[in-house]
Structure 1
């Protein structure tokens, strides 16, 4: 569970990570028609009939978590390519009744990310910036007071309404900005955890043997035997002649 806090507002997020074990898409078509109405009574002209159709994709897939449990996920109006065997993470905000509002889907296998709901949509669905009825009551009170103050209350009511509207819009803008930054940060954390570690390089046995032989000292060679000069009669005679 991950919590985003802004002032007195708190939004809880959950992360579902696992392997896609099934995916199914169904297209839903809605047909609407307008026109075909008589103009100026039954004897008048008939407006042209216009028929329009809208196709909505309902995507249902199953995610198997590391504990072996398969979770059913349903998306409406979103076409995301998923296939069996891919590793994904789904970030969802929790509604007030505990139902998930799917916010971001990270496909680790394909290295792709889809934003299903941004902060602006979550702000509307979770009612993080509700209408301030207190401002309306204050403005109404100032308008009533303006009846007895020759219009000064109306000026005060207008000024207070503009001030309250500006402050509210600034708070809403800051909340949406912070919530978008939090969703982006949470998505980056999920993406980094889903990346596979780099492989460890292991030295092969042949390389290890070669390096060991290169570092081992060379075996000591036995000293070479010096060959003694051969003595013969010719060399003895020459030595004696030199002495004479």
Structure 2
């Protein structure tokens, strides 16, 4: 569990990492029609009927974590290519009831990443910056007071409303910026764990191929093939004596 805290707001994030063991996609078609309305109450004048259809992808897949537990994940309205055997990580924010709001999906095997919800979307769905009803009550009170102060209350209400709106927008902008930075940091941490280098394989000496050659010495001549210096001198003297 990873917690993001901003002021009095806390958002918990979970990271689901494992192997895809099953994936299925179903297409849902929604058909809507407009028109067919009578114009000016005249039965003869009818606006043209227009029919439109929208296809929505419902993606369901299973992820098996290293402890052997398989988790069911459902995505709606997004078409993400996944296949069995790929390693993925899914970052999700948790609502108050514990249901997940999927934020980022990383496919470590394919080196791909999809943003399902950004910080602005999470701010809206989690209601991190709700409407300030206290500001509305103060503005209404100033307006009522304006009836008895010849309009001064209306000016005060307008000024206070503009000030409160500006302060609220600045707080909302800062919250979204901090939340976006936290999601990016968590995303980088998950990516670094998923891209850990594999162990280096060392080739054993028995498997290594010897790439150099040892030059063997030239074969020595046998003693029978080697000429003796003494024998050569005696042969020369005999040849000279015969000539004499």
Q: What TM-score results when the alignment is normalised by the length of structure 1?
A: 0.83
Structure 1 unmatched runs, 5+: none
- 1:135-171 deviation line (CA, Å, top 9, x unaligned): 0111111111112222111111111100000000000
- 1:95-115 deviation line (CA, Å, top 9, x unaligned): 011101111101110111111
CA distance in 1 between counterparts of 2:173 and 2:221 reads 86
Give runs of ≥4 in structure 1 deviating > 2 Å. Answer: 40-44, 198-204, 206-244
The within-5 A match list for 1:52-201 is: 52-200=52-200
Shift in alpha-carbon separation, 1:95–1:227, aligned structure 2, 3 A: same
- Report deviation, 1:241: 29
Shift in alpha-carbon separation, 1:215–1:87, aligned structure 2, 3 A: farther
- Report deviation, 1:196: 3.4
- Report deviation, 1:46: 1.4
Shift in alpha-carbon separation, 1:160–1:215, aligned structure 2, 3 A: farther
- Report deviation, 1:40: 2.7
- Report deviation, 1:26: 0.5
- 1:25-76 deviation line (CA, Å, top 9, x unaligned): 0110001111112223353311111011101000000000111111110000
Q: What TM-score results when the alignment is normalised by the length of structure 2?
A: 0.83
Structure 2 unmatched runs, 5+: none
CA distance in 1 between counterparts of 2:84 and 2:30 reads 30
Shift in alpha-carbon separation, 1:124–1:14, aligned structure 2, 3 A: same
CA distance in 2 between counterparts of 1:13 and 1:216 reads 71
CA distance in 1 between counterparts of 2:184 and 2:190 reads 10
Shift in alpha-carbon separation, 1:217–1:8, aligned structure 2, 3 A: farther
CA distance in 1 between counterparts of 2:222 and 2:64 reads 72
CA distance in 1 between counterparts of 2:108 and 2:50 reads 45
- Report deviation, 1:134: 0.4
CA distance in 1 between counterparts of 2:153 and 2:242 reads 149
Shift in alpha-carbon separation, 1:204–1:167, aligned structure 2, 3 A: same
- Report deviation, 1:200: 2.3
Shift in alpha-carbon separation, 1:149–1:59, aligned structure 2, 3 A: same
Range 196-205 or range 184-193, more displaced: 196-205
Shift in alpha-carbon separation, 1:135–1:232, aligned structure 2, 3 A: closer
CA distance in 2 between counterparts of 1:39 and 1:22 reads 54
CA distance in 2 between counterparts of 1:18 and 1:178 reads 28
The answer for the alignment partner of 2:7 in structure 1 is 7
- Report deviation, 1:205: 1.3
- Report deviation, 1:220: 22
